[in-house]
């Protein structure tokens, strides 16, 4: 099972759906997880101390432990990561003795539809997930309003991703 995390709606969700279809063509089962729909409270230690870890995070971590690999599809917000992605990782980091367990040696494919170049969010995701111990694929799938998805290119990138994930 491949988990496709989407950190926005609209164009990035369309990209995630396309990538899910391409993974299916490669014989891989996947599930889209819309981080916006998780509707997590903004992380802070006071909230954690008084309300505990959201049940949705505990369920998400169970799914992550079973997954073979992840695809992160995220827009670029102010030259970096969107708050919903940062917040989700913050909550994940508060669970268990070793939260890195869900990231360590996990293959990750990065993708974005961005109003800019998409390079800043790709670099920010690469930095974060690499430091968490993941195996981030060397090529990203980047689309913009001026440069739509090239299906042949994204399929080649996903084929390489699947090879690494196996």
SS3 label, residue 11 = helix
Instruction: For the full predicted model, state whether its pTM sits above 0.85.
Output: yes
What pLDDT does 70 receive?
98
pLDDT averaged over 10-residue windows placed end to end, the chain, 166 residues: 96 98 98 97 95 95 97 95 97 90 97 94 97 97 96 98 96
**E strand or H helix that includes residue 123:** helix 119-131
Picking from 93, 72, 63, the residue whose alpha carbon sits closest to that of residue 15 is 72
Q: Virtual CA dihedral for 71, 16, 83, 70, nearest 10 degrees?
A: -10
Picking from 78, 144, 134, 135, the residue whose alpha carbon sits closest to that of residue 111 is 144
What pLDDT does 96 receive?
84
Residues 109 and 60: their CA atoms lie apart, in Å, by: 18
């Amino acid at each position: 099972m491949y988990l496709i995390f989407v950190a926005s709606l609209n164009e990035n969700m369309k990209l995630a759906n396309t990538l899910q279809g391409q993974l299916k063509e490669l014989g891989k089962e996947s599930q889209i997880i819309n981080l916006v729909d998780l509707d997590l409270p903004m992380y802070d230690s006071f909230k954690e101390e008084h309300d505990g870890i959201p049940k949705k995070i505990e369920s998400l971590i169970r799914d992550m432990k079973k997954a073979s690999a992840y695809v992160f599809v995220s827009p670029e917000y102010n030259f970096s990561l969107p708050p919903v992605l940062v917040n989700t990782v913050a909550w994940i980091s508060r669970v268990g003795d070793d939260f890195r367990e869900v990231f360590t040696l996990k293959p990750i494919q990065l993708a974005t539809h961005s109003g800019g170049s998409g390079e800043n969010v790709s670099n920010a995701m690469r930095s974060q997930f690499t430091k968490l111990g993941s195996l981030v694929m060397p090529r990203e799938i980047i689309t913009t309003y001026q440069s739509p998805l090239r299906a042949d290119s994204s399929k080649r990138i996903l084929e390489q991703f699947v090879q690494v994930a196996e």
